[in-house]
Amino acid sequence: MDALIEKLKGQIIEQLNLAEVKPEEINPDSPLFGEGLGLDSIDALELIVLLEKHYGIKIQDPKDGKTIFQSLRTMAEYIKAQGKS
């Protein structure tokens, strides 16, 4: 799980162009939206594309996004649960 979280950190920084953020600064349990990384709705779309592109996971119901993208850890857990890690 830790290795997947580290991998996700790098992918998120690259996809969202978070040039100012270092991987070690991202707390895996902090919220991705609002507080924490302070992402917004456009970033949510970028994260959906990231999951599809890198892990072959398509989110069918947009309502699921709220739970999946709660934090880096919930994202990693979802990827693992889909057997795509």
Q: Which residues bind other proteins (CB under 8 A)?
A: 15-20, 38, 42, 45-46, 49, 52-53
Q: To the nearest whole angstrom, how small is the minimum distance from the Cβ of residue 25 to other proteins?
A: 13
Separation of alpha carbons 23 and 72, rounded Å: 11
Closest CB to other proteins among residues 40, 61? 40
Q: How many CA atoms lie within 13 A of 6 on its CB side?
A: 4
Closest CB to other proteins among residues 2, 40? 40
Total residues found in the chain within this entry: 85
DSSP 38: -
Q: To the nearest whole angstrom, how small is the minimum distance from the Cβ of residue 2 to other proteins?
A: 26
Give the helix ranges, DSSP H, for the chain.
2-15, 41-55, 65-68, 72-81
Q: To the nearest whole angstrom, how small is the minimum distance from the Cβ of residue 37 to other proteins?
A: 10
Closest CB to other proteins among residues 53, 84? 53
